Structure 1
Amino acid sequence: MTAPPLDFDIRGLLNAQEKLQLLALPASKRRRLLNNASKRLRTPNRKRIRDQRNVDGSAYAPRKARRKRKMLSGLGKGLQVTRLSADQAVLGWQNRLVSRIAAEHQHGQTETMTLARLRRLGKSPDYGMPATRQQARALLKAGYQIRNGKRWKRPAPRWIVENLKSGQAGLILAQLEGHTKKQSWKIALPARDVLGATADQVREILSTVLQQTLNAPR
């Protein structure tokens, strides 16, 4: 899946005089105009991502898991002009993985997450950390016991947290529940406007940048 395009026919957003002025510009100035206009469009898109808002001002659809950290927080920083010519400018991301994540959220697709992908994103769990209380509860619910001399007993949640690592607890739980650890899983993503702008926003930016380009000494 490719990155969500910010696609406008700029000629349709200019008045008749501005169209003639645009057509009269040499290729170097048209290139400069598109570059400056794209960078100006980048600013409100970065702000929207920080504010967790769609183009129409509505809030992003929340995560299923209640986390305080903002969604897509790293995408705005990497947003840049990725391709530029006298006739076209593309606003997006150079990193293919980031670009794909943006597209999945933009279109509300089902995302396939893998352990390898989590590691590349720097989000893989630290299996050397102590087991969590959530893991302890899950283990006890699955029937986890420890040896006490010749007998077996149900440990306290505190014992699990203090004596098992997160990775160990995960493996034991998988064995008790009779399944292997998932290597990939599906995440349903609601549509969120990662990249976009209204026609009025684009029109205003284009008109301003066009006049600046026409009045520039070179």
Structure 2
Amino acid sequence: MAETLGDLSAWLTPLLMRLQPAQRAKLAREAAKRMRRTQQQRILVQRNPDGTAFTPRKARTLRSKQGRIKARAKMFTKLRTARYLKAGGSAAEATVSFAGRISRIARIHQYGLRDRPGKGMPDVQYAKRELLGFAPGDRDMLSDLLLEHLVG
């Protein structure tokens, strides 16, 4: 990933320096919005940036009452909404990040850290699930966006 980001940065920097700061900020906001959309779609299908599936939740009993089985929902359904997944941009950068207290939960899953799920509960080691990342198709999407902006 570092090579592709470095290559992309080396290719984009000379082109971006030709733009006025206001145009760069507009382009950065649009790039951030598109990146947020791709991140949301990836989280929806439960995939890491490299295309592998998220590590499934730990198996547990799904019966709460006799004869009733509770269906298991997908992970991170609220995290991928625009309320929590913020996109922004300025003349210097484009950012996609989680807002507020949700960022703590996202960071724990992003890096596979340990956390206590509730008061009085033991620490749990969470599996690494990369919520934000640079997928292979994102490079092409960003270069196409820049070319669209320069041409049109």
Q: Does 1:79 align with 2:85?
A: yes
Shift of 1:8: 9.2
TM-score of the pair, normalised by structure 1: 0.56
Task: Give the match for residue 206 of structure 1.
Answer: 142
Shift of 1:10: 5.9
Task: Give the match for residue 27 of structure 1.
Answer: 21
Task: Give the match for residue 109 of structure 2.
Answer: 105
User: Which amino acid in the other structure matches residue 194 of structure 1?
Assistant: L
Task: Give the match for residue 55 of structure 1.
Answer: 49
Shift of 1:40: 1.0
**RMSD of aligned residue pairs (Cα, Å):** 2.5
**Cα deviation per residue 1:108-133 (whole Å; 9 max; x = unaligned)?**
00012234xxxxxxxxxxxxxxxxxx
Task: Give the match for residue 13 of structure 1.
Answer: 8
**Cα deviation per residue 1:20-77 (whole Å; 9 max; x = unaligned)?**
3321100011111111111111122111111111112221111113461111121111
Following the alignment from structure 1 to structure 2, what is the Cα–Cα distance between the partners of residues 29 and 8?
27
TM-score of the pair, normalised by structure 2: 0.78
What is the DSSP-based 3-state SS (H/G/I as helix, E as strand, rest coil) of the residue aligned with 2:124?
Answer: strand
Where relative contact order (Cα < 8 A, 6+ residues apart) is larger, the structure is: 1
User: Quick check: which one's helix share is greater?
Assistant: 1
Alignment of 1:1-218 (within 5 A): 12-13=7-8, 19-66=13-60, 68-77=72-81, 78-81=84-87, 83-95=88-100, 97-115=101-119, 183-198=120-135, 200-216=136-152
Count of equivalent residues: 139
Following the alignment from structure 1 to structure 2, what is the Cα–Cα distance between the partners of residues 94 and 15?
30
In structure 2, the CA distance between the partners of 1:34 and 1:10, relative to structure 1 (3 Å rule), is farther
Following the alignment from structure 1 to structure 2, what is the Cα–Cα distance between the partners of residues 103 and 191?
10
What is the DSSP-based 3-state SS (H/G/I as helix, E as strand, rest coil) of the residue aligned with 1:92?
Answer: strand
**Cα deviation per residue 1:81-139 (whole Å; 9 max; x = unaligned)?**
1x5321112211222x2111001001000012234xxxxxxxxxxxxxxxxxxxxxxxx
Contact 1:111 1:189 in 2 (8 A): yes
Task: Give the match for residue 67 of structure 2.
Answer: none
User: Which amino acid in the other structure matches residue 123 of structure 2?
Assistant: K
Contact 2:48 2:54 in 1 (8 A): yes
Following the alignment from structure 2 to structure 1, what is the Cα–Cα distance between the partners of residues 92 and 10?
18
Shift of 1:19: 4.2
Rg larger for: 1
Structure 2 spans left out of the alignment, 5+ residues? 63-71
Following the alignment from structure 1 to structure 2, what is the Cα–Cα distance between the partners of residues 8 and 85?
24
User: Which amino acid in the other structure matches residue 12 of structure 1?
Assistant: D
Following the alignment from structure 1 to structure 2, what is the Cα–Cα distance between the partners of residues 73 and 209?
28
